[in-house]
Amino acid sequence: MPGLIDAHNHWHLRGRAWGARQGNLWLAYGITSTRSPGDPVYQMQETREALVSGALRGPRYFATGEAIDGSRVYYNFMRPTVSLRQLGREIDRVEGLAYDLVKTYVRLPIEYQRRAIALVHRLGLQLSSHYLYPAEHLGMDGMEHTGATNRLGYSHTVSRLGRAYADVVTLFTRAGLSVTPTLFNSTMAHVDDPSLLTDRRTTTLYPSWEYNALITEVNTARGPAGVTTRELLRGNVDMVLRIHRGGGLVISGTDTPLDNMAVSLHANLRSMVAGGFTPYEALTTATHSAAKWLNLEDRLGVVKPGAQADLSFVTGDPLADIRAAAAVDQVMIAGNLHTVDDLLAPYASTARTQPAVHTPNAPQPLTRAEAHAHDTTYWWHEPEWLHRACCEG
């Protein structure tokens, strides 16, 4: 089958602490291309060059640098702009550093947004952000997430329970604006089938702290919080299914490392199938459709003469059972073949022979009050400061 494309991730946020194992993990799960709508540009350049030269092993890396924002920024590596002249200099930087795409963020004034779209299109690139209206009227090419941070109070696409209505679906399908779902609530797929949690690719290549966070997240979803999580997921999948069936462009992405590296793309696909997509339709969002957004539909996400030899060799038929898409035995990128054993070998000594998958009756983490009662010496922060936000990437 074609190698998968994760159309929304950030190599150099928390993921930079993964080191070289990040690229191996993506490949081990059949992901041969990634699209980053935001990374520190010089780190992005270094990683992109390392991948091309072979100094670093991993999937193709299509990326932008720092997102272009208005006068204030959320992430410290974003670019604040306070004038149209400065915006022009930022677009000069886009050209000079050979961005593959551009992302604008949530405080950029509408007039600046209009100018950015025109300048970016003049360079032959595409541009994405976080909102639907008036982006679709301005000529924007895509929206990240089903409904994420934006500073336009009139431009919310989903309700608090993840439901979208006909006006939203109509705007997506008629404007041709893509949507990248980033189904954070797809954690429920691991509740329903925990096999990827104990898979040797996960237990070997995940750093211990990331693995513990993944298990904690799934254990939380097994409890009462999972009722709301499952309903949110149902609403989000229903939204993108209606956009897809209406002729809109849905491209699968995860927002890793804000979501769980590599396994979250398969959780997204499984959740889409559980919500009504056929396996073929779901796989299209992570292959041909994502390649189409990159203007590479004849070279990536497809198996045919003349295309890039980016292939995933799996056991089973993913068109009959979407779980087979994760049953990767070998992966090929640009004609270079890797076995899963090869990808795991440098890290085999770190494998966990007994992954800490908790049962629903396992002791739960201490609440803040309980922690104070036990020891106040090391509890210096507010718990919410450590919350792994779902949709700020």
- Orientation of helix 166-175 relative to helix 225-245, angle to 10°: 40
Matching residue, tokens 């074609």? 2
Confidence of residue 9 (pLDDT cuts 50, 70, 90): very high
What token pair was written down for 312?
Answer: 């995933």
Residue 108 lies in a domain: yes
Q: What is the CATH number of the domain that holds 199?
A: 3.20.20.140
What token pair was written down for 143?
Answer: 């929206």
Residue 43 lies in a domain: yes
Compute the distance between CA of residue 256 and CA of residue 242 in angstroms, rounded to an integer.
25
Binning the chain into helix, strand and coil, the percentages to the nearest 5 are 45, 10, 45
Segment 26-80, tens digit of pLDDT: 999 999 999 999 999 999 999 999 999 999 999 999 999 999 999 988 888 899 9
Segment 27-38, tens digit of pLDDT: 999 999 999 999
Residue 392 lies in a domain: no
Segment 245-282, tens digit of pLDDT: 999 999 999 999 999 999 999 999 999 999 999 999 99
Predicted pLDDT of residue 155: 80
Residue 23 lies in a domain: yes
Count of domains forming the chain: 1
Residue 226 lies in a domain: yes
Q: Please give the DSSP secondary-structure letter assigned to residue 323.
A: G
Peptide bond into 134 cis (omega under 30): yes
Residue 393 lies in a domain: no
For residue 239, the tally of other CB atoms under 10 A from its CB is: 25
Tell me the residue type at 371.
Answer: A
User: Domain containing 169: what range?
Assistant: 4-386
Going through the chain in order, the beta strands assigned E by DSSP cover 4-6, 31-36, 60-63, 68-69, 79-80, 102-103, 127-129, 142-144, 178-180, 311-314, 328-333, 336-339
Predicted model pTM? 0.88
Cβ atoms of 100 and 64 closer than 8 Å: yes
* DSSP-derived secondary structure for 197-248: HH-HHHHHHS-HHHHHHHHHHHHHHHSTHHHHHHHHHHHHHHHHHHHHHTT-
What residues contact residue 208 under an 8 Å CB cut-off, 6+ apart?
350
Mean pLDDT, rounded, for 358-382: 41
Matching residue, tokens 């997240």? 217
Residue 262 lies in a domain: yes
What token pair was written down for 74?
Answer: 């959320």
Residue 391 lies in a domain: no
